[in-house]
Amino acid sequence: MVDGDPLEDISVLTDPERRLAAIIADGRVVKDITSELAITP
């Protein structure tokens, strides 16, 4: 899960601590901070 569109702006992948909310590798969750994100309806 990326905060931004890497097809439009590849630089969104240069700050993974801030921009990547979830990472799945080899079918396993490596990072998941989605529950910590504030969701506005």
Q: What is the dihedral of CA 17, 20, 22, 26, to 10 degrees?
A: -90
Which pLDDT score, from 0 to 100, does residue 39 have? Answer: 64
- Picking from 9, 41, 40, 37, the residue whose alpha carbon sits closest to that of residue 1 is 37
pLDDT at 33: 82
Q: Which residues of the chain have pLDDT under 70?
A: 38-41
Number of domains in the chain: 1
Sign of the dihedral defined by the CA atoms of residues 13, 6, 25, 40, in that order: positive
Parent domain of 21: 1-41
What does the pLDDT read at residue 8? 93
